[in-house]
Structure 1
Amino acid sequence: MARKFPKLSKIQVLFLIFTIAIMVTIFCLSAQDAEKSSDTSSFLTKVAVKILYSDYDSQSPEVQKELWSKASFIVRKLAHFSIYASLGFCASVTAGKRRLFSAKSLGVIGFGFLYAMSDEIHQNFVKGRSCEFRDMMIDTGGVTVGMCVSLIIIGIIALFARKIHRSD
């Protein structure tokens, strides 16, 4: 007998679409060669340099290069973490209401880890890019944080729904 999949609510279907859209976005960003990827993050790096190093323009070219490198690293890793946190949030809402320590929650984290791994392997075939275990762990951390945020929000919504239901 064929096993039936649970019926998804409209919200879950919407977040499934968001999850797929984020996955496509990640794939497209990972398909950029190193030069294009650098250009993509340069604007944010420029902003980060201005925020983190107010005296950047008065520094020697060698120091500027070092500061730029540090800011670029921070921007790139935060970008990894952020987009995967979004993926974890959306995948978690798609999975539905549950406890933090459950098979579904482990499934969301496992899904995020596997997607991060496939993303890093994909980057290994792109000119100037590489497969980084560190990035996989940053990505998985992002998924985990995104999932935890979604569970907090789902819990708050459920709490308000119970209060409203009791007052009827």
Structure 2
Amino acid sequence: MRISRQTVLDWLPPLLWMAVIFSASSDTGSAQHSSRFFEPLMHWLFPLMAKTRLDAIHYLLRKCGHLTEFAVLAVLMWRAIRHASPISPHPWRWSEAALALSFVMLYAASDEFHQTFVPGRTGQLSDVFIDASGAAIGLGLLWLVGTLRKRW
């Protein structure tokens, strides 16, 4: 079986994005790395802010990163699945979105499992829920933009 150039181009973006996520989750002490940049910046912007508040903001921003990276993955995965599906009169099909969401949720769970083997990292079920929420938000925004632009 020969794989077409278009199939490769459709699946390459989500696969590359998954590699980016895998690489980021392989980083030991990720929170410490980002705090080296974040804390001096926040101290400069808000010199009187308490350390506990800075830590809470840093935590929130890291979780927003989880949300965003999996929102992007869900949209890329939907696009690849959409292009692999037979042409339909309706560009948006919920079955394709559900398949993309399911795959991203499985990848999120495997990513957290992978982190249990990385020194200084822990896999957390709450992060899987955050990642899945990001995927759902990404697909929801994709649907909303397509609806508002009357593409589906």
Same fold (TM over 0.5): yes
Q: Which structure ranks higher in relative contact order (CA pairs < 8 Å, sequence separation ≥ 6)?
A: 2
2:151 to 150, 158, 161: 158
Alignment of 1:69-88 (within 5 A): 69-88=55-74
Q: Is the 8 A contact 1:13 1:94 kept in 2?
A: no
Cα distance change of structure 1 residues 79 and 8 upon mapping to structure 2, 3 Å threshold: farther
Cα distance change of structure 1 residues 45 and 146 upon mapping to structure 2, 3 Å threshold: farther
AA in 1 matched with 2:141 = V
Q: Unpaired runs of 5+ in structure 1?
A: 160-168
Name 1:141's counterpart in structure 2. 133
Q: Is the 8 A contact 1:89 1:149 kept in 2?
A: no
Q: Is the 8 A contact 1:85 1:143 kept in 2?
A: yes
Instruction: Render the CA deviation track for 1:56-89: whole Å, top value 9, x for unaligned.
Output: 3135xxx2x2022111101110100011011011
Q: Is the 8 A contact 1:85 1:147 kept in 2?
A: yes
Q: Unpaired runs of 5+ in structure 2?
A: 83-90
2:10 corresponds to 1:20 = no
Superposition RMSD in Å: 2.9
2:32 to 35, 38, 52: 38
